Structure 1
Amino acid sequence: MPIAADYIRIADEITAEVRGGKLKAGDKLPPITALAAKYKVSPSTIKQTYVRLEALRVIWRHQGKGIFVNDPALWMREP
């Protein structure tokens, strides 16, 4: 079984934290450099992670303010 790319793995972890209630709508996510240090990956990997999460509507960006968790009702489907 192939191993998922780091950015996919990290995006899945963040999505799981939202689904599990650890992260809630409106919560601000860490800056790219802080998340890169946490996961021991390059900042470009975290940029890819955030692009993926934004495409899935899990997060939204507010220029000059940060990156925030979107309301799960807008993107989460029942299993």
Structure 2
Amino acid sequence: MPITADYIRIADEITADIRAKKYRPGEKLPSIAQLATMYDVSPSTIKQVFVRLEALRVIWRHQGKGIFVNEPKLWMREP
């Protein structure tokens, strides 16, 4: 069984949380430090998670304000 990198696994979990409406469009996500503690990984791993999610258009960054959930129509594919 292949091992999935932590940042991919966490990005998938956050995406699933967004789909389940734990985080809603426009909502600010927890900080890097908070997520690192929640997932018991280093802050650099969470930074990789955010790079991945931003590339997939799941989130957007607002310098000095935080990281926010994008509208589903921008990234969510129809089933």
Identical aligned pairs, as a percentage? 76
After superposition, what is the alpha-carbon deviation per residue over 1:34-54, rounded to whole angstroms, capped at 9, x for unaligned?
A: 110110000000000000000
* Number of aligned positions between the proteins: 79
User: Unpaired runs of 5+ in structure 1?
Assistant: none
Structure 1 stretches (4+) deviating beyond 3 angstroms?
A: none
Partner of 1:36: 36
State the alpha-carbon separation in 2 of the partners of residues 43 and 33 from structure 1. Answer: 6
2:68 is paired with a residue of what secondary structure?
strand
Structure 2 equivalent of residue 47 of structure 1: 47
What residue in structure 2 maps to residue 11 of structure 1? 11
TM score, norm. by length of structure 2: 0.96
**Runs (5+) with no aligned partner, structure 2:** none
Tell me how large the CA RMSD over aligned residues is: 0.7
Query: 1:70: which partner in 2?
Result: 70
TM value normalised by structure 1: 0.96
| Per-residue deviation, 1:21 | 1.4
